[in-house]
Amino acid sequence: MRASSLSSTKVIDLLNHYFVSVHVDGVYVGQNASVPAQEKKAYQSVFQEFYRINKENRAAGKPEFSVGSVHAYVLAPDGKPMASLHVADAKPGAVADMLERAVKALKTPEGKPLVQPCPQSAPPKADADDLVLHLVARYLVSRSQPNARKDVDDAFVPIVSTLGQERSGQWSALPSEDWIVLKKDQWMKLLPAGKVAVESSWDIDKEVATQLLTHFYPTTENNDLSANRIDRQSLKATVVSIRDGVVRARLEGDLKMKHTFYPRRDDKNFVDATVVGYLDFALKGPRILTLRLITDRASYNSETTNFGVALRSVPALP
């Protein structure tokens, strides 16, 4: 929906002027301890209300609402269920029709948007000595494909997407983003334990490497990191220069990881990736100045799908 219905000018206009829009990640709400209990209860109450209405409709021989975690729901101001669409049916035209019916039924007057446009992914709050990392993953296609970007000189490149249309509702249409925060005791394990010299090398702590590499997968419906299974991983650092107290180390590694496309639905999809990058750190402190890590070569689903990932350190919000 993000690349099709939720990028449709008509749908955006309806949502902005007649509705209070809420996006909820069910996996995040269910598994994140930082989500307030009241929010979790409100999330579950939506399903409970739809199930309750469906039970009544079933007994009366009336049509039932579609209900599930990957749905678009319309609620009345009092929380009463009004309409729903499974994402597979939530094409731009269908979503616009659903919203227009709700506006007509509720006689909702047009108003100004309650929230001004802003980035949907922002750096998390973090302590001053935390290392904040921003990750972007996106599908890649052969440069010879008609829908491939021609301004990128590489064998596999991003797709040129036309948003807001039914055919643009694909997993490959847009990149995905994620944030990783390493506390000081974690990012210190990225650094060498002994003396640093040009050409000296060390293996990155396995636990910290796992924290990074478990995010290296393409956009899928499954974002439950606990379900990922790493079968092979390596991440090695080698010092290439030392100047004015700043060390630059080349990062190299590889990854083979089981990542199912849908949550709790087994399949034969594996990530195979080669990763490269660099790490700049100051000897005094010590402290990490810059971390960059990308997939030099990555495939998913038995090498039938190519994707890329870029990980970079960024300033955190105070």
Kindly list the domain boundaries of the chain, sorted by start residue.
Answer: 5-106, 131-314
Is the pTM higher than 0.75? The answer reads yes
| Structure confidence at residue 315 as a pLDDT band (50, 70, 90) | confident
Residues present in the chain in total: 318
Which has the closest alpha carbon to 160: 169, 148, 171, 145? Answer: 148
Residue 169 has pLDDT above 70, yes or no: no
From its phi and psi, is residue 302 left (phi > 0), alpha (psi between -120 and 50) or beta?
Answer: left
8 Å CB contact between 157 and 172? no
pLDDT of amino acid 52: 94
8 Å CB contact between 177 and 134? yes
| Structure confidence at residue 163 as a pLDDT band (50, 70, 90) | confident
Residue 188 has phi, psi (to 5 degrees) of -60, -25
Q: In whole angstroms, what is the distance from residue 263 CA to residue 221 CA? A: 7
| Structure confidence at residue 117 as a pLDDT band (50, 70, 90) | confident
Alpha helix segments (H runs only) across 201-272:
206-213
Dihedral, CA of residue 182, residue 185, residue 187 and residue 191, to nearest 10 = 180
